[in-house]
Structure 1
Amino acid sequence: MSSSTAATVGSVSNVSQVAALINGLSELPRKANLLWYLILGGLFLDAYSNAALGAGLVPMTKELSLTPGQVGVLTATAPAVAILFNPVGGWAAARIGRVKPLLVAKLIAALGAVLTATAGSFEAVWFGRGLVGIAYGVDFAVAMALLAEYTPATLRGRLNLWQSVWYVATTVNLALTLAFFKLGISVDIWRWSVGSAGVFAVVLLGLQLTFLAESPTWLAARGRIAEAARSLRRIYGFEVTAGTAAQQSGPEEPKVGFRQAGVLFRAPYLPRTILSTAISLTQSMQYFAVGWYLPVISLAIFGQKFETATLGAMIFNAAGIVGGALSAYLGHRLGLRTSSAIGYAMVTVTLLAMGLSLNKAPIAIAFVLPLLFIFFHSAGPGANGKSIAALSYRSDIRSLGTGVTGMLGSFGSVIGLYVFPQIKEAFGLGPTIALLAVVPLLGLVSCLLIRWDPTRDGFDPDTEHIELRPARDHARSR
């Protein structure tokens, strides 16, 4: 069904029928497409907020006289807090819907940006980054679930576009940072970089508050069929009504809370949870250990000139934009698991070459290797951990699944951001990068051992009927 024939007369009585209507589309109608990108805008903000501190890390370190340990704490704070708030966001979205947590996340992100930008001490920056971490944790868990629920089955690979958006956000932040530098802002450049994230947060809050509509499949899974029908009309233009009370009859759906998280670690969800967690963990570790520090790596390649290093980092991120866009195509053609495995293999080779040749290879090779790292990372595993999680669980537990696996995967970013400065301080940049090659190798092994892919064979999680009772209660009933 194309967007031109999206309007359909009929009724819906349960979540399977709602999901079938959405999955019957071959493309998103115009309004649904706009809302889809508005949700994606939240992930742009998450990436931009993360990049904002990295772009001004060197001048901030000088202004506040930070030690390597304090730098490690500040860079790891947001993803560390996100570990706690990934499942909180998922739980909230499972209980009160997708839209409200997204709006709260934007408000918290704006507050965190303002506090960080006006901070005069390590402690104040740390608190501001903690708020950014809360927003990041909540937003990512909920946004990926809502994107999956807005997206027809034939367009599932499109979820990987979040990876390209990540690099667009990072590049925009670097460009603005360079513009601030050109305007004569030097020591305080990090404040302008971080503060601009607050502006984006406020704008996005207003747009999402005005236009976003609740997920029809979540509403239907909660038994709110009339609201689901209204949401289908508002988002897709379907002319549907709610079924009669008799048609909607059936067992009452249990409320989903943290007690139901155990279902993610039982059959048939266990392999899916392990794979999505393994990919999310390893890809975030390799990115936040290397990709997040591209300005620092760029300084090592091009010298200590701020302008040159920032331009180099922007070019590196351009490879991520291309690779992230390509990952949507590869995810559709090859499947998320296979494209991840290929990406991991190439990243392993690239990290070894980059680490062993740093400060030894000609500048052309030294420049190309980080470019290849970002490209293979973004085209392969960079997007797939979160996309697999969003597509592997049915609507009533989807946000819980993305939240819990996101929490587990966030440990990778904390390890990358906190441990990397310590190892780099002790052994140097080159040996540390070479040592990191073990991370994508572990990711490759995970993809080879667990052969799960939600984009294959027309899989639809909302047709699965799996008991939500905690494992202990399930065992007692037997």
Structure 2
Amino acid sequence: MASPSTAVAGTVSSPSDVVALINKLGRLPRKANFLWYLILGGLFLDAYSNAALSAGLSPMVKELALTPGQVGLLTATAPAVAILFNPASGWLAARIGRVKPLLLAKLIGVAGALLTAYAGSFETVWAGRALVGVAYGIDFAVAMAMLAEYTPASLKGRLNLWQCVWYIATTSNLALTLICYKLGIGAEIWRWSVGSAAVIAGALFVLQMAFLVESPSWLAARGRLADAAQNLRRIYGFDAVPGERADTPAEVQQSIGFRQTGVLFRKPYLPRTMLSTLISLTQSMQYFAIGWYLPVISLAIFGEQFEKATVGSMIFNAAGIIGGAVSAYVGRRMGLRMSSAVGYAMAFVLLLVLGLGFGSLPTVLAFTVPFLFIFFHSAGPGANGKSIAALSYRSDIRTLGTGITGMLGSFGSVVGLYVFPLIKESMGLGPTIATLAVVPLLGLISCIVIKWDPTRSGIDPDDEVIDLLPAPVPATR
């Protein structure tokens, strides 16, 4: 087989030329594959940091004497802050590139983890979690966009692997917590849980600073054709050379910002933005119907001991690892929209069964139903909202699109953390789970009504000519 450098050559005059070269690949070369997983490592950190708090929440509450209101604020802080920094990071990455925001996120992640681990009061823990939310908000929007730009069309389904990585990270933190418990660390266990995230963030910062290469698509969109060609050679080994710059208005290329947000809600992007947002919103809400209560369900099934409950939670998360791994294959075979629809349909049925039968189901079903729910969630809509967003927009506004849709979708996490506990308090866990079956039903309807699927459209967003300037305001007399 010919090497990439001898098999692929071309001239780079625009982002679509970059995409065309990358799309000629049937697989990623070794260097590109390493960089791909190095970017994905940031999403591992995001999930790990989020799981770190829940794994050690009970001993933290006891040690710091936290009130229920303070606990609710702490658990909701990171996703709430991420809502603000999703679009901000998208704007930043559109202006200065992908690599610098990713490195910044790791440094902030280190600071947030250490501040939380050494905290002696609620206020300090809250500040640490706020920094974790900043890092999460920056990293997720940029990393997904960069993964999309590194990936040939034939492999776009592998973007869904972020969901598998998410559950691997969650399970890893649970495993660390269990090890700390076995070593008799006691009440300080939560400090080890959150502090370990600083080690991962620091290691990722060093590796990404040493090896990451700026996205050739973004460079081409900025008119930096020589740099784009050079990075194509560095990443893929292509024999790429810069060409004549395409006639894209320089003032638009150099000024991507929040004023371009309106283009996400105009044709042809409106259905894409709506679908990715609705999937992100409903999948995060439906996850909290089960995911947030996995420790409770685990205690009910495996017993009241901390060790057994933790192992039980790890078993449930294994369903997410399997589903996330399968989602890449299912997304490629069925398309992201249809695989989401199937996942929603199964989640709807499973939530009804678990909710209506909660407390009376046989032990086998009480275990099987939430296990299957996590599997179908992660194999379908759990991964697809962010993947659809990353694949639906042109290179110069891709991070803006993933940031804005990520912000809108993150509201589902905040709603889940604040509203669902209130419903549970008034109705009980079983009726709450049954009531929340309406969420995957709404997701299913969205997938049926909105027909967009970037893996089935045959459209390369970088070939689309879109006016990014704001619509003119009609003159008034």
TM-score range, shorter chain: over 0.9
CA contact (8 A) 1:69 1:422 kept: no
4+ long deviations beyond 6 Å: none
Q: CA deviation at 1:192?
A: 0.7
Partner of 1:302: 302
Partner of 2:199: 199
Q: Give 3-state SS (helix, strand or coil) of 1:188's partner.
A: helix
Q: Are the structure 2 counterparts of residues 368 and 216 from structure 1 closer, same or farther at C-alpha, using a change threshold of 3 Å?
A: same
Q: Which is further off, 433-442 or 6-15?
A: 6-15
Partner of 1:24: 24
Amino acid at match of 2:466: I
Q: Give 3-state SS (helix, strand or coil) of 1:119's partner.
A: coil
Partner of 2:161: 161
Q: CA deviation at 1:2?
A: 7.8
Partner of 1:96: 96
Amino acid at match of 1:251: P
Q: Give 3-state SS (helix, strand or coil) of 1:240's partner.
A: strand
Q: CA deviation at 1:66?
A: 2.3
Partner of 2:173: 173
CA contact (8 A) 2:5 2:239 kept: no
Q: Give 3-state SS (helix, strand or coil) of 2:240's partner.
A: strand
Partner of 1:437: 437
Q: Give 3-state SS (helix, strand or coil) of 2:452's partner.
A: coil
Q: Give 3-state SS (helix, strand or coil) of 1:456's partner.
A: coil
Query: Within 1, Cα distance between the matches of 2:396 and 2:76?
Result: 32
Query: Within 2, Cα distance between the matches of 1:344 and 1:192?
Result: 36
Name the TM-score, length of structure 1 as normaliser. Answer: 0.96
Q: CA deviation at 1:359?
A: 2.0
Query: Within 2, Cα distance between the matches of 1:80 and 1:406?
Result: 12
Partner of 1:106: 106
Q: CA deviation at 1:11?
A: 2.4
Query: Within 1, Cα distance between the matches of 2:202 and 2:7?
Result: 34
Structure 2: gaps spanning 5 or more residues: none
CA contact (8 A) 1:301 1:359 kept: no
Partner of 1:381: 381
Partner of 1:49: 49
Query: Within 2, Cα distance between the matches of 1:288 and 1:7?
Result: 48
Q: CA deviation at 1:55?
A: 1.0
Q: Deviations over 1:299-348 (max 9, x none)?
A: 23323210001000001011101100111111111100000000001001
Query: Within 2, Cα distance between the matches of 1:158 and 1:218?
Result: 21
Query: Within 1, Cα distance between the matches of 2:386 and 2:177?
Result: 29
Partner of 1:261: 261
Q: CA deviation at 1:6?
A: 6.2
Structure 1: gaps spanning 5 or more residues: none
Q: 1:160-309 alignment to 2 at 5 Å?
A: 160-244=160-244, 248=246, 251-252=249-250, 254=252, 255-309=255-309
Partner of 1:356: 356
Report how many residues are paired: 473
Q: Give 3-state SS (helix, strand or coil) of 1:276's partner.
A: helix
Q: Are the structure 2 counterparts of residues 137 and 288 from structure 1 closer, same or farther at C-alpha, using a change threshold of 3 Å?
A: farther
Query: Within 2, Cα distance between the matches of 1:57 and 1:264?
Result: 39
Query: Within 2, Cα distance between the matches of 1:456 and 1:3?
Result: 29
Q: Give 3-state SS (helix, strand or coil) of 1:451's partner.
A: coil
Q: Are the structure 2 counterparts of residues 85 and 297 from structure 1 closer, same or farther at C-alpha, using a change threshold of 3 Å?
A: same
CA contact (8 A) 2:4 2:236 kept: no
Q: CA deviation at 1:363?
A: 1.8
Amino acid at match of 1:54: S
CA contact (8 A) 1:3 1:25 kept: no
Amino acid at match of 2:288: F
Query: Within 2, Cα distance between the matches of 1:387 and 1:298?
Result: 30
